[in-house]
Amino acid sequence: MKSHRTARVSEVIREVAANAILFQIKDPRVKNVTVTRAEVSGDLQHAKVFVSVMGTVKEQQLTMHGLKSAAGFLQTQVAERITSRFVPHITFILDDGVKKSVEMARMIREENERLALDRVAAGLPPLETEKVTGEATAVDDDDLEDEFEDDLDDDELEDDEHDAATKKAAPPKPADGTTERPI
């Protein structure tokens, strides 16, 4: 099977699953669900829908059970969207990628804060990208507004110069209304 066809089918399955979970499934167990991606087998017989569920482990298990029971409904929704001999059998898989990325961001932030505190403790000034816990740098809003207004003024000047240059370059129109140009 061509890879672009499987990619299109997996995208349709992802869209249908996301819409159905968000708007059509009335099961109270299915909540806080994000469809991250979908994968389809080469023969278009099986589809894996990866979902991220925010909440406790018990809430995740409950949501996955609700999604498993709604898989048949989602298959009928997919059947209405694709024209294929077979409708893929849908399986939901819990995707921990979002939780892992949030955890990694937290770990990186904590390490950066620890490094910044170590630099301060060693008597070195913190780097511009480092934030020191407990120390806040004040940014003057008036300075930001002045910079923004200066940028706007520069853009307006460039636009005015461009308009003036295009007006000079355009040939004059004949007074009689014709569109012929002299040769």
In this prediction, residue 172 carries a pLDDT of 57
Spatial distance between the Cα atoms of 39 and 37, rounded to a whole number of angstroms = 7
Residue found under tokens 């170590």: 118
* β-strand partners of 50: 37, 93
Q: What is the DSSP letter of 181?
A: -
This prediction's pTM: 0.59
The answer to whether residues 115 and 132 touch, using CB atoms and an 8 Å cutoff, is no
The pLDDT tens digits of the residues spanning 3-44 come to: 888 999 999 999 999 999 999 999 999 998 999 999 999 998
End-to-end CA distance of the chain: 61
- pLDDT above 90 covers a percentage of the chain that reads 45
Would you kindly state where each structural domain of the chain is located, as residue ranges? 3-95, 97-137, 139-169
Class of domain 3-95: alpha beta
